[in-house]
Amino acid sequence: MCMQRKVKREFIDRWLSEAYPNALTKLSNASGVPANSISKIRNGRVPKDFEQLKGLAEAIGVNVDQLFPVLPDRKGRAS
């Protein structure tokens, strides 16, 4: 079973605001994640590649579980 994660965009947004100007390019260079992918991540897309999760979290200065927290397991719950 695959863990579902979400994006805590506020970490990315804070980093970008502090790194202005050219912040997206700086974050892309620091993390190894393409700038267009970072834009998608900011809009809620969680990368499937763990190296992207890790690279982005490390560049921002948080751990993967802070930036991409695991959603609670919904299995077994009544609908």
Residue 61 pLDDT exceeds 60: yes
Instruction: Give the residue numbers spanning the domain of 13.
Output: 9-64
55: in domain: yes
60: in domain: yes
- Count structural domains, the chain: 1
pLDDT at 79: 47
Mean pLDDT of 23-34: 97
pLDDT at 29: 97
Peptide bond just before 21 cis, omega within 30 deg: yes
Percentage of residues in the chain with pLDDT exceeding 90?
86
Regarding predicted confidence, which is higher, 66 or 76?
Answer: 66
Burial 26-58 (b: 16+ CB within 10 A, else e): bbbeebebeeebbeebeeeebbeeeebbbbbbe
pTM here? 0.84
17: in domain: yes
